[in-house]
């Protein structure tokens, strides 16, 4: 299947065959030489396992980073390879998102005292500066190319079919590098922060400020719409990016203005019971997705109160969402059956998942633990814990007798609740322990019936996610990103001020009465490939000698996009023009214009 031929029905098919491993199909492929898990680690206490696995996990991360990673020969300096696996699935690429989350962990570890990582971090900065200048299928350096999800291991463009653009990469990379830039400023490295790191950050912030309100593919690379993970990451990056710009005396155009509007939009994902992780897309899912738990831990601020607006780990909304998401896996995985409410289970991406048969993932299971460890830290610093009507079901799974109220640190109820939450969080780590082979290798997934590892072996993100969960368990937390001063959304949401181009679509096709021609594509303004939301063209200038259908539409300026024409017959049949998708760039400049002259294929 090729991304360039994507239509609405193919979007649905993509839900069944994630883009990240289309070559894998639905065949279950073990990530280790043996299909059976060595369960020796079951006999080890959790604390001892965590210490051993932490050492193996940092080695696992570094083994997948060029130029000297032991498992990724040929990778460029600073390139984070998702996995050494090159076949079924082929993950031997560097993903902007995975790399940013990995380096966020490494920068936090560096700030906490691991000075050996500085060379690696500097190599990452250099590598990202190179990637920002690589033209690719998502565009050029100033025309949307920063939204390209992955690149070859040598930092050249990947030009194959894929789910693009993915708008979470730039804000995630900005956050990782802002952490480093702030450390540099505080430790005599202002010149490096200004001249080397800031240029990379500023490009990512410019992209985020421009594109946050446009749809793109989600972090699982399967559906194009509005992703909660992307929006949460964008808000944090714009807030802390604006502050860094001020500290460096640099402009951050649009950052301060966009941030509260992004936060305002984030509220629309909350449906009253949980976070609907993907909206503005008809994907046929409940929306209960580990996307939202990953969002909560990414935007965790250790100085924050339990703020609902930013879905802080200890907030009532985030806790209710944690219950909704993790409970959704209790009956779909055989290894979870018989596990009571309030006891940890294996966690996957979303319960409708069919990739590799729909399995638990290591990084989503550790994320469930990490949110709770972060919540425990926040309650401890706040000196109290509040149970509300929203969070009450979560707490009653752990302590059935609890009632709504605020409980002071040191009180019997506070101690009972925090002890239960700690045990619950440890339970998720124990699930990972149970299905970790004796050599400590963490693949992408583990099988829902046996626990055998599946898909890509030695997944970098799996190792990084394990390490951040352990850090939160030890109350090792990142610096504040100033969430307390930036957590009140406006009462009325508005999008980014439009910088649109007037694009005229002309296509010549002979039609009969009752037939109409539409244009659709990957932009919201073109209906996100949905025939029901496609834009109707006019036959006002149609003649026998010139069968012209035309429409002029406002589209984001200077933006690379794919599109196609469709014909709707009198009886409602939808006919797509033949492959491949058309691809173009809208004209540059606010209020500019451009014309596309096409012939139906």
For residue 35, pLDDT beyond 70:
no
Query: Average pLDDT in the 298-327 region?
Result: 98
* Per-residue pLDDT, 224: 85
> Which of residues 454, 485, 516 is at a domain's end?
485
For residue 39, pLDDT beyond 80:
no
In this structure, what are the phi and psi dihedrals at residue 504, rounded to the nearest 5 degrees? -100, 125
Annotation marks residue 108 as catalytic: no
Distance CA 231, CA 211 (A): 10
Query: Average pLDDT in the 334-350 region?
Result: 96
Query: Average pLDDT in the 23-39 region?
Result: 39
Q: H/E/C letters for each residue in 354-423?
A: CHHHCCCEHHHHHHHHHHHHHHHHHHHHHCEEEECCCCHHHHHHHCCCCCCEEEECCCHHHHHHHHHHHH
Residue 35 lies in a domain: yes
In this structure, what are the phi and psi dihedrals at residue 329, rounded to the nearest 5 degrees? -100, -5
- Residues 6 or more apart in contact with residue 594 via CB below 8 angstroms: 501, 502, 503, 504, 586, 587
* Per-residue pLDDT, 26: 34
Residues 238 and 262 sit within 8 Å (Cβ to Cβ) = yes
Query: Average pLDDT in the 528-533 region?
Result: 88
- Both 407 and 512 in one domain: the answer is no
Tens of pLDDT, residues 539-554:
999 999 999 999 999 9
Residue 451 lies in a domain: yes
Catalytic residue among 108, 148, 168, 218: 218
Residue 491 lies in a domain: no
Query: Average pLDDT in the 146-164 region?
Result: 95
Tens of pLDDT, residues 61-81:
999 999 999 999 999 999 999
Residue 493 lies in a domain: no
Output DSSP code: residue 132.
H
Containing structural domain, residue 406 = 3-485
Distance CA 128, CA 182 (A): 18
For 129-144, b where at least 16 C-beta lie within 10 A, e where not — what string? ebbbebebbbbeeebb
For residue 10, pLDDT beyond 80:
no
- Enumerate the β-bridge partners of residue 564: 520
For residue 6, pLDDT beyond 60:
no
Residue 158 lies in a domain: yes
Catalytic residue among 108, 148, 168, 221: 221
Query: Average pLDDT in the 147-160 region?
Result: 97
- Both 470 and 506 in one domain: the answer is no
Residue 76 lies in a domain: yes
- Both 523 and 564 in one domain: the answer is yes
Reduce the DSSP state of residue 578 to 3 states and report it. Answer: coil
For residue 100, pLDDT beyond 90:
yes
* Per-residue pLDDT, 43: 55
Beta strands 560-568 and 548-556, pairing class: unpaired
Q: Which region among 11-20, 432-441, 575-584 has the lowest average model confidence (pLDDT)?
A: 11-20
- Enumerate the β-bridge partners of residue 446: 453
Residues 552 and 503 sit within 8 Å (Cβ to Cβ) = yes
- Both 335 and 449 in one domain: the answer is yes
* Per-residue pLDDT, 524: 81
Tens of pLDDT, residues 296-305:
999 999 999 9
Q: Comparing 149 with 528, which gets the higher pLDDT?
A: 149
Distance CA 342, CA 507 (A): 59
- Both 423 and 570 in one domain: the answer is no
Q: Which region among 404-413, 440-449, 526-535 has the lowest average model confidence (pLDDT)?
A: 526-535
Distance CA 177, CA 124 (A): 9
* Per-residue pLDDT, 497: 67
Query: Average pLDDT in the 158-162 region?
Result: 92
For residue 2, pLDDT beyond 60:
no
* Per-residue pLDDT, 412: 97
Q: Which two tokens stand for residue 339?
A: 């596990």
> Which of residues 456, 485, 514 is at a domain's end?
485
Annotation marks residue 554 as catalytic: no
- Both 544 and 587 in one domain: the answer is yes
Query: Average pLDDT in the 417-445 region?
Result: 97
For residue 17, pLDDT beyond 50:
no
Query: Average pLDDT in the 326-332 region?
Result: 96
- Both 296 and 362 in one domain: the answer is yes
Name the pLDDT band for 282 (thresholds 50, 70, 90). confident
Q: Which two tokens stand for residue 171?
A: 């804000």
Distance CA 307, CA 59 (A): 35
Tell me the angle at which helices 255-266 and 228-248 cross, rounded to the nearest 10 degrees. Answer: 160
- Both 448 and 405 in one domain: the answer is yes
Query: Average pLDDT in the 239-268 region?
Result: 96
162 is in an annotated binding site: yes
For residue 528, pLDDT beyond 90:
no
Residue 494 lies in a domain: no
Residue 128 lies in a domain: yes
- Both 527 and 439 in one domain: the answer is no
- Both 412 and 474 in one domain: the answer is yes
Q: Residue 32's closest CA among 543, 381, 459?
A: 459
For residue 394, pLDDT beyond 50:
yes
Q: Specify the CATH number for the domain of residue 340.
A: 1.50.10.10
Q: Residue 561's closest CA among 525, 507, 533?
A: 525
Rounded to a whole number of angstroms, the distance between the first and last alpha carbons of the chain is 20
Name the pLDDT band for 27 (thresholds 50, 70, 90). very low
For residue 227, pLDDT beyond 90:
yes
The 10 Å Cβ neighbour count of residue 560 is 22
For residue 41, pLDDT beyond 80:
no
- Both 525 and 419 in one domain: the answer is no
For residue 28, pLDDT beyond 70:
no
In angstroms, what CA-CA distances link 247 with 16, 182, 545? 47, 9, 64
Distance CA 8, CA 126 (A): 39
* Per-residue pLDDT, 244: 98
Report the number of distinct structural domains present in the chain: 2
For residue 14, pLDDT beyond 50:
no
Distance CA 518, CA 550 (A): 9
- Both 481 and 505 in one domain: the answer is no
For residue 401, pLDDT beyond 70:
yes
Distance CA 315, CA 303 (A): 13
Q: Specify the CATH number for the domain of residue 530.
A: 2.60.40.10
For residue 269, pLDDT beyond 90:
yes
């Amino acid at each position: 299947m090729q991304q360039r031929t994507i239509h609405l029905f193919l979007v649905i098919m993509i839900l069944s065959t994630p883009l990240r491993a289309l070559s894998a199909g639905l065949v279950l492929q073990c990530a280790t030489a043996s299909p059976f898990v060595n369960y020796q680690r079951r006999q080890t206490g959790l604390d001892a396992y965590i210490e051993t696995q932490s050492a193996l996990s940092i080695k696992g991360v570094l083994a997948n980073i060029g130029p000297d990673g032991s498992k990724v020969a040929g990778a460029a300096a600073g390139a984070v390879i998702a996995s050494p696996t090159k076949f079924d699935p082929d993950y031997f690429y560097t993903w902007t998102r995975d790399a940013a989350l990995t380096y966020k962990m490494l920068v936090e570890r560096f700030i906490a005292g691991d000075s050996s990582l500085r060379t690696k971090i500097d190599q990452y900065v250099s590598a990202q500066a190179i990637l920002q200048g690589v033209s690719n299928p998502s565009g050029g350096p100033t025309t949307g190319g920063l939204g390209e999800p992955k690149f070859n291991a040598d930092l050249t463009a990947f030009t194959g079919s894929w789910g693009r653009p993915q708008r979470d990469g730039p804000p995630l990379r900005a956050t990782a590098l802002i952490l480093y830039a702030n450390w540099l400023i505080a430790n005599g490295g202002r010149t490096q922060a200004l001249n080397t790191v800031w240029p990379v950050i500023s490009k990512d912030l410019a992209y985020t400020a421009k594109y946050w309100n446009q749809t793109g593919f989600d972090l699982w690379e399967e559906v194009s719409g509005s992703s909660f993970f992307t929006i949460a990451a964008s808000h944090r990056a714009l807030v802390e990016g604006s502050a860094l710009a001020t500290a460096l005396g640099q402009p951050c155009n649009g950052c301060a203005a966009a941030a509260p509007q992004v936060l305002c939009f984030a509220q629309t994902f909350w449906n009253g019971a949980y976070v609907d992780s993907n909206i503005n897309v008809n994907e046929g899912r409940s929306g209960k997705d580990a996307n939202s738990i990953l969002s909560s831990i990414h935007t965790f601020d250790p100085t924050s109160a339990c703020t609902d607006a930013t879905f802080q780990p200890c907030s009532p909304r985030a806790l209710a969402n944690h219950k909704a998401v993790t409970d959704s896996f209790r009956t779909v995985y055989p290894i979870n059956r018989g596990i009571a409410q309030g006891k940890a289970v294996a966690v996957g991406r979303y319960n409708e998942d069919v990739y590799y048969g729909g399995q638990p993932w290591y990084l989503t299971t550790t994320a469930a633990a990490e949110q709770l460890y972060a919540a425990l830290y926040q309650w401890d610093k706040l000196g109290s814990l509040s149970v509300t009507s929203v969070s009450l079901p979560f707490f009653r799974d752990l302590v059935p007798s609890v009632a709504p109220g605020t409980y002071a640190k040191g009180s019997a109820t506070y101690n009972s609740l925090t002890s239960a939450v700690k045990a619950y969080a440890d339970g998720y780590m124990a699930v990972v322990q149970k299905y970790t082979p004796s050599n400590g290798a963490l693949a992408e997934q583990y099988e829902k019936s046996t626990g055998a590892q599946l898909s890509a072996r030695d997944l970098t993100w799996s190792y990084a996610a394990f390490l951040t969960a352990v850090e939160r368990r030890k109350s090792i937390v990142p610096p504040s990103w100033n969430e307390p001063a930036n957590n009140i959304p406006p009462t009325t949401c508005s999008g980014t001020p439009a910088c649109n181009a007037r694009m005229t679509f002309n296509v010549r096709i002979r039609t009969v009465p009752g037939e109409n021609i539409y244009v659709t594509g990957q932009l919201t303004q073109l209906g996100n490939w949905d025939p029901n939301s496609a834009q109707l063209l006019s036959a006002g200038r149609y003649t026998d000698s010139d069968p012209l259908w035309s429409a002029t539409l406002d589209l984001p300026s200077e933006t690379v996009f794919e599109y196609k024409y469709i014909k709707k017959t009198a009886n409602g049949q939808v006919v797509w023009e033949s492959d491949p998708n058309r691809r173009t760039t809208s004209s540059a400049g606010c209020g500019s214009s451009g014309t596309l002259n096409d012939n139906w294929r």
